[in-house]
Amino acid sequence: MSTPRDSSVGRWRKSSRSSGNGQCVEVAALDGGVGVRDSKLPAGSRLTVGAREWGLFLQDVKAGRHDAG
């Protein structure tokens, strides 16, 4: 994992299911993977994960493996 230096690379977006309460993350397709950042701190730290790992994570989310509660 790394932090991309250029936030202008990629188009940052948040889920259409975001509740608008400020507790969101944004994602962007970046060279070398998928960027993830806090929507409240767009100039703050960013995380980059590989595209394959991101896909596996999304599969787990859709399967309910990361539900809180």
Residue 46 in contact with residue 4, Cβ under 8 Å?
yes
> How high is the pLDDT of residue 9?
62
Structure tokens at 61: 């989310």
Q: For the segment 35-69, what is each residue's pLDDT rounded down to a tens digit? A: 999 988 889 999 999 999 999 999 998 999 988 76
Residue 27 has pLDDT above 90, yes or no: yes
What distance in Å separates the CA atoms of residue 20 and residue 30, rounded to the nearest whole number? 25
Which residues, other chains included, contact 55 with Cβ-Cβ below 8 Å and sequence gap of 6+? none
Considering Cα of 32, then 35, then 41, then 45, what sign does the dihedral take? negative
